[in-house]
Amino acid sequence: MTASTADVLDYDEVLARFDPVLGLEVHVELSTNTKMFCGCPTAFGAEPNTQVCPVCLGLPGALPVVNGAAVESAIRIGLALGCDIAEWCRFARKNYFYPDMPKNFQTSQYDEPIAFDGKLDLELEDGTVVEVGIERAHMEEDTGKSLHVGGATGRIHGAEHSLLDYNRAGVPLIEIVTKPITGTGARAPEVARAYVTALRDLLRALGVSDVRMDQGSLRCDANVSLMPKGTTVFGTRTETKNVNSLRSVERAVRYEMTRQAAVLAGGGEILQETRHFDESTGSTSAGRRKETSEDYRYFPEPDLVPIAPSAEWVEKLRATLPEMPWQRRKRIQADWQLSDLELRDLVNAGAVDLVAATVDAGATPNEARAWWVNYLSQEANTRGVELAELPITPAQVARVAAMVADGKLTNKLAREVVDGVLAGEGEPDAVVAARGLEVVSDDSALYAAVDEALAAQPDVADKIRGGKVQAAGAIVGAVMKATKGQADAKRVRELILERCAG
């Protein structure tokens, strides 16, 4: 089912012999209230086939009408990517028979995309900027969801039959296609990931989609081909689908480069086909042979009239564009007085929005950064998820930071509270109460613990009385142990010195 690792060429060897060419197609589901061509709701996770109507089920005689809000989102996406907006364009029927498309065609756009010829600048982890050209962004509709029964869960191989839920069929989709990305060499996988990340951040800033790769509202198909070093003619490409996370984008491109190189180095030919990425093995396997565009028999959709956005409308939409992620990063760097390195750490951790939201919830930028970039990033790494997917909110982090600032929690206790929130034990205050984590701030309790510790180590107590202040450390340690770490060490030290001075 999956190619063995013997079928791939060593990565350095790939780069010594070939130059990779990338083409990335990103599909983004718009977060409109209704579908592209009918008034069915688009909420994720509803009971199967409860958000359907004659239009999206392709029942005879049903007629589509375009969702104006989806067109506005498409134009705004195009503008944010620096694209030209078509003065006139049409929808087209893309004909193919597949059970996830109940109409037997997908309503899409063919040679008249609503937006074309733009660019997106990406910043790689080390700060290198790469400009990616945008070929086009066009409007289409999503397909239904298939569940393959009988084989391994959800997979086609070995399935006995398939079950279709059309709630997703007809959800507005924007397909954004890059121009060929060349000259990236060894960094091609990293560029692919950075592109999807930058695009995701941009779409999120625009507020046009919830851009959840794990829920399929942002999906990437990675086209990869190789050309022998020194040549300029593109090789045959494959299109890898089912790439459902940023990390998978990077892995899929890298794997496909090493696989294709092995085929080419062995004198073989690359077949133009779709390939399926397998998260568990990190490899791709052959899918369907790619149909040529003639095979789709595109023709202008007769049931939908052309779209001709007026210059006034486009300018009105341009005025609604928010601060772009790259502008925002510059502003945040200035506002929070971050060094380039600090900003890069923040961006690379995927923490900009989370830290900003934590600051909005009352934390200082430094507190918020410390939590997200240091402690929580490690936790996300350990769990193998994106930072934003951790089960803790900026408001909860801000609450913990506030308790530290108020002296109710030490840093150590605060980490325990955060661990409790991550473990699903509820809000920070509830975790503090349930785990009994509040700092012992009652001085009488602390005095008792200090007196006890001093009495237990009379020699140390004498040293302190004799002026050896650094000896207090041993007593602080004893008190912290006695209070199970729930005392503020600084306060304990003050009390010890006070006791020994008196």
Partner 1 sequence: MPNISREEVAHLARLARLAVTEDELDKFAGQLDVILQSVASVGEVAAQEIPPTSHAVPLRNVFRADEPRPGLSQQQALAGAPAVEEGRFRVPRILGEEA
Contact footprint for partner 1 (CB under 8 A) = 32-34, 38-41, 47-54, 56-57, 65-71, 90, 95-99, 146-150, 156-157, 159-166, 241, 274-276, 285-288, 291, 295, 297, 299-300, 302, 304-309
Q: In degrees rounded to 5, what are phi and psi of residue 461?
A: -60, -40
Buried b (16+ CB within 10 A) or exposed e, 162-182: eebbbbbbbbbbbbbbbbebe
E runs forming strands in 190-305 = 218-228, 238-243, 273-278, 283-289, 299-300
Compare residues 131 and 160 and give the one whose CB is closer to partner 1: 160
CA atoms lying within 13 Å on the CB side of residue 73: 28
What lies within 8 Å, CB to CB, of 346 at 6+ separation is 332, 338, 352, 355, 369, 373
**Nearest-approach distance from CB 223 to partner 1, in angstroms:** 16
Residues 347, 352, 358, 362, Cα dihedral to 10°: 100
Compare residues 300 and 485 and give the one whose CB is closer to partner 1: 300
**Nearest-approach distance from CB 279 to partner 1, in angstroms:** 14
Compare residues 91 and 116 and give the one whose CB is closer to partner 1: 91
CA atoms lying within 13 Å on the CB side of residue 339: 3
Compare residues 98 and 447 and give the one whose CB is closer to partner 1: 98
Q: How far apart are CA 137 and CA 393, in angstroms?
A: 33
Compare residues 190 and 239 and give the one whose CB is closer to partner 1: 239
Q: Are 80 and 115 in contact (CB under 8 A)?
A: no
Compare residues 268 and 306 and give the one whose CB is closer to partner 1: 306
**Nearest-approach distance from CB 206 to partner 1, in angstroms:** 16
What lies within 8 Å, CB to CB, of 339 at 6+ separation is none
**Nearest-approach distance from CB 262 to partner 1, in angstroms:** 20
20, amino acid identity: P
**Nearest-approach distance from CB 193 to partner 1, in angstroms:** 23
What lies within 8 Å, CB to CB, of 81 at 6+ separation is 115, 118, 119, 120, 134, 137, 176, 202
CA atoms lying within 13 Å on the CB side of residue 192: 33
**Nearest-approach distance from CB 310 to partner 1, in angstroms:** 8
**Nearest-approach distance from CB 281 to partner 1, in angstroms:** 13
Q: Are 115 and 137 in contact (CB under 8 A)?
A: yes
Q: Are 245 and 350 in contact (CB under 8 A)?
A: no
**Nearest-approach distance from CB 164 to partner 1, in angstroms:** 4
**Nearest-approach distance from CB 74 to partner 1, in angstroms:** 12
Compare residues 58 and 473 and give the one whose CB is closer to partner 1: 58
**Nearest-approach distance from CB 326 to partner 1, in angstroms:** 29
E runs forming strands in 204-282 = 218-228, 238-243, 273-278
Compare residues 41 and 268 and give the one whose CB is closer to partner 1: 41
Compare residues 313 and 375 and give the one whose CB is closer to partner 1: 313
Please return the burial class of 498, using the count of CB atoms within 10 Å of its CB with bins 0-12, 13-18 and 19+: exposed
The tokens for 277 are 């990425």
Q: Are 408 and 483 in contact (CB under 8 A)?
A: no
The tokens for 23 are 């083409």
Q: Across the strands, what pairs with 174? A: 28, 139
Compare residues 71 and 317 and give the one whose CB is closer to partner 1: 71
Compare residues 66 and 395 and give the one whose CB is closer to partner 1: 66
**Nearest-approach distance from CB 483 to partner 1, in angstroms:** 56
Compare residues 74 and 403 and give the one whose CB is closer to partner 1: 74
Q: How far apart are CA 300 and CA 421, in angstroms?
A: 54
**Nearest-approach distance from CB 50 to partner 1, in angstroms:** 5
Q: How far apart are CA 397 and CA 370, in angstroms?
A: 11
